[in-house]
Amino acid sequence: MYHYGLIGDMSSAALVGTDGSIDWCCFPRFDSPSIFAAILDPDVGGRFRIGPTSPDFQSNQEYLTDSNILKTTFRTATGEISVTDFMPAAEDDDDNPETPPKAPHEIHRIVTCTSGEVEMTCDFQPRHDYAQSFPKFEPIRGRRGATAVRASGGRQVITLLSSIPLPVNERGVTFSFTMSSGQRETIVVTYGHGRPASIELLQTMEKLNSTRLYWQGLVAKMNYAGLWRDAVVRSFLALHLMMYRNTGAIVAAPTTSLPETIGGTRNWDYRYSWLRDSSFTVDILYRLGDVYGADRYMRWLLEQCKLTHQKTRILYGVSSNSPLRERRLDHLRGYEDSRPVRIGNAAARHLQLDVFGEVILSIHSLFLLHGEVSTESWALVHSLAETVVANWHLKDRGVWEVRGDQQHFVYSKVMCWAALEKASSMAAAMEDFSLAKRWQETAELIKAQILDEGWCASKGAFRQRYEHETLDASNLAIPFLGLLSRDDPRVRYNVDAIERELTDGSLVWRYLPDETDDGLRGQREGAFTLLSFWLIGNLIYTGQTDRGFDYFNEVIRRQANHLGLFAEMYDPMSGRQLGNFPQAYSHIGLIHTALNLSSYIADTPTRRRRPSS
């Protein structure tokens, strides 16, 4: 498992290990160059650790109730001490919610000794620009000696401030200090030029309180009364740590190059926003009552997807100047020697026809909520629907962004059908019956082709791609989209076949790599966590709800880490998480499934059951 917690300020994020080490952090944004990257190379990546000097300790991590404030407690032979980590959350501007204030770009670390006496070590070793720039360390003198150290390298500047005097050497700041019961010290990292040189001016305790109130206030507004509340709240808060508040974009994960195969090359940069996640994300936020977050995301979505001078891409940066060009960082050895380390993502140039359906589904969710859509939204729907009409017959790279040859992927065709089906229904609601009829006619053509060429009679399931018998678990989404009626036997046949070939209990693999030209032949990967939730959704849909309950509890117990955070994948052989972490899509799937199972319980009181522990 990834033994990390995530803290953040909805602009950037940091991974904090159970040993007290911050091993990943990019400032000032998710897609900025890293300051700490020990998770990708423990020797040269850079870290910021505060923990016991003695290696003989036990640790426990937990989030403060309904917040993204992380507390790591260490127990040693001589006492107990905790480190409370957070990044201050900036309040929204009630007078002008369209322009939320900038995050302060600070990491606050509060060290509190609760019993006995403990010797601690602070090891501050930043390595700027993905460890390509060795910083210069400059002490800032105060009355008690150096209480601040500025580290400058490349175009990045950070400052370490402490309530303890800081000894400085040419490689950073490393020192030990002993704390006794009742003693508290504060250590803070700030990003940028012109920051205060006195830690008192940073008002750590005031910011701790306001940040706690911010997160707890967000949870208090959450509309959820079902079971598994702790898991849903943690997923809801994790999603917000992956939102870029300045635009509303949601990154797939705050990390890059955490491998899907240990020692392999399936290492991708996920610090971007994929439109395939959009319909699920928007629906989740609306269903949980976070209308402001959903509306902000929709505004970003509309802005990014305008079909003006460029084609709609499958992914975008958090802002218009985000770097997307993919390149390798060969000086970093990668997570457990999994090379290469990549930044940027070449998938931005891929043709994926499913993206049009996913965007239209997002807008359709908004339409169902409000009964209308804006002129801008409808113009986008019209443009995307016409694009589908003109291009649905093309080959593409599919939802998994294969780097082999383009194919006629069934999931892509299904999403093209869904795009025109939803667009047609909106057109009819707005009494544009001619347009609705034309889109519906094309939707019927696509559906007929899917049922003819996409169904594999020998397997009793939908194919991954036309003219091949390979199965693909992405087709578990078909029942959710309404291509087939609930009582169509092909729904049950499809999930049964996928279970036979691509699952092991609640674990689901995307496809068989040996049967799929994904450009990375021979490399195995873990079970895909989101697909476990899609499988559970199919079990509910086909009346196998008891198994759905059991699988849901198993996924939470088995695939989440000690804090309830999910990665992209899970390897049952080693019992470890794989892929980038934490993964927004996985947490979206958890919330959707918890909502659906809770709804099932509410609708069938005579069969009500509690989740097993």
β partners of residue 29? none
pLDDT tier at 102, thresholds 50, 70, 90: low
430 falls within a domain? no
Per-residue pLDDT at 612: 35
Task: Determine contact, residues 249/503, Cβ cutoff 8 Å.
Answer: no
Q: Are strands 145-153 and 173-180 parallel, antiparallel or unpaired?
A: unpaired
- Helical segments of 28-101, H only: none
Task: Determine contact, residues 486/495, Cβ cutoff 8 Å.
Answer: no
Per-residue pLDDT at 607: 47
Question: pLDDT digits over 567-589, tens only?
Answer: 999 999 999 999 999 999 999 99
Per-residue pLDDT at 458: 96
Task: Determine contact, residues 5/69, Cβ cutoff 8 Å.
Answer: no
- Helical segments of 392-488, H only: 410-429, 433-453, 478-481
Query: What is the C-alpha separation between 123 and 302, in angstroms, rounded?
Result: 44
Query: What is the C-alpha separation between 471 and 496, in angstroms, rounded?
Result: 12
Task: Determine contact, residues 333/382, Cβ cutoff 8 Å.
Answer: no
Query: What is the C-alpha separation between 121 and 111, in angstroms, rounded?
Result: 11
Residue 142: C-alpha distances to residues 110, 139, 149, 151 (Å): 21, 9, 11, 17
**Amino acid present at 493:** Y
3-state helix, strand, coil split of the chain in percent (to 5) is: 35, 25, 40
Is residue 375's pLDDT more than 80?
A: yes
Q: End-to-end distance of the chain based on CA atoms, in angstroms?
A: 20
Q: Which residue is it, tokens 């971007």?
A: 272
pLDDT tier at 122, thresholds 50, 70, 90: very high
Per-residue pLDDT at 144: 57
Is residue 75's pLDDT more than 50?
A: yes
Would you state the structure tokens that stand for residue 227, as one six-digit string? 């079971």
Q: What's the chain's average pLDDT?
A: 91
Per-residue pLDDT at 91: 59
Full residue range of the structural domain in which residue 59 is found: 4-217
Count: domains in the chain: 1
360 falls within a domain? no
CB count within 10 Å of CB 209 equals: 11
75 falls within a domain? yes
Give the SS3 label for residue 305.
coil
CB count within 10 Å of CB 545 equals: 19
Question: pLDDT digits over 550-560, tens only?
Answer: 999 999 999 99
Query: What is the C-alpha separation between 531 and 42, in angstroms, rounded?
Result: 32
Q: What is the pTM of this model?
A: 0.94
198 falls within a domain? yes
CATH number at residue 157: 2.70.98.10
Residue 325: C-alpha distances to residues 3, 27, 310 (Å): 30, 19, 16
Per-residue pLDDT at 298: 83
118 falls within a domain? yes
Pairwise pLDDT comparison (78 vs 600), residue with the higher score: 78
- Helical segments of 273-343, H only: 278-287, 291-304
CA 535 to chain centre: 20
DSSP code of residue 394: S
Is residue 93's pLDDT more than 60?
A: no
DSSP code of residue 407: B
Would you state the structure tokens that stand for residue 68, as one six-digit string? 């993204």
Query: What is the C-alpha separation between 502 and 508, in angstroms, rounded?
Result: 6
583 falls within a domain? no
Inter-helix orientation angle 584-603/278-287, to 10°: 50
Task: Determine contact, residues 502/445, Cβ cutoff 8 Å.
Answer: no
Is residue 71's pLDDT more than 80?
A: yes
Would you state the structure tokens that stand for residue 312, as one six-digit string? 């709609």
Give the SS3 label for residue 36.
strand
Mean pLDDT of 237-251: 92
Query: What is the C-alpha separation between 396 and 494, in angstroms, rounded?
Result: 23
Question: pLDDT digits over 473-506, tens only?
Answer: 999 999 999 999 989 999 999 999 999 999 999 9
Residues with Cβ within 8 Å of 577's Cβ and at least 6 positions away in sequence, in order, are: 1, 2, 526, 559, 561, 566, 567, 569, 570, 571
Residues with Cβ within 8 Å of 419's Cβ and at least 6 positions away in sequence, in order, are: 356, 357, 359, 360, 361, 384, 385, 388
Give the SS3 label for residue 423.
helix
Question: pLDDT digits over 383-429, tens only?
Answer: 999 999 999 999 998 888 887 788 999 999 999 999 999 999 999 99
**Amino acid present at 94:** D
196 falls within a domain? yes
Task: Determine contact, residues 458/469, Cβ cutoff 8 Å.
Answer: yes
95 falls within a domain? yes
CA gyration radius, the chain: 25
Would you state the structure tokens that stand for residue 98, as one six-digit string? 């369209």
